[in-house]
Amino acid sequence: MTTRITKKYIYIFLLFNLLFIAGSGCFFHRGVRVAVTNNSGSIIRNFLLNYAGGSIEANVIDYKKTISYKVKPTSESDLRIQFLDKDGNTKKATIEVYIEPNYGGRIKIIIGPDYNLIINNCSAPYIYLSRRLLWFLNLGCSHARAINQ
């Protein structure tokens, strides 16, 4: 008799912990981590990252350095970046990614030679549950594209 009661409490305890871990994982991972790496060969100045409901600024990104921020948009959004190159020319680009307020994951932006952009959109599978259930199995990284303006 005590074995049944003990097993019952163990199952309840395990179920509670499983639900807590699953729930807290989604709660703590809200927001998309955006990492920007400067591989342009020179310093980038006045970097600005815009998204729905906010923006992030960095005065200087040194060559071979990475800055990382958590982006929490207030509505559907893409990312827009702007910065000054070594000659003081303004460079602008729109990163065609789709993020929403409850999304999580990470996006890597690499600013390469000639200021071309390489974007890796690496997202956790729970991001897309609110959008399309079939995307649940998408565990890999996709490449977004940047439109230079």
pTM: predicted TM-score of the whole model, two decimal places:
0.67
pLDDT at 50: 95
> For residue 12, is pLDDT > 70?
yes
Dump pLDDT digits (tens) for 25-51: 444 557 888 999 999 999 999 999 999
- Rg over CA atoms, the chain: 20
Could you tell me the pLDDT band of residue 19, with boundaries at 50, 70 and 90?
low
Between 50 and 123, residue with greater pLDDT? 50
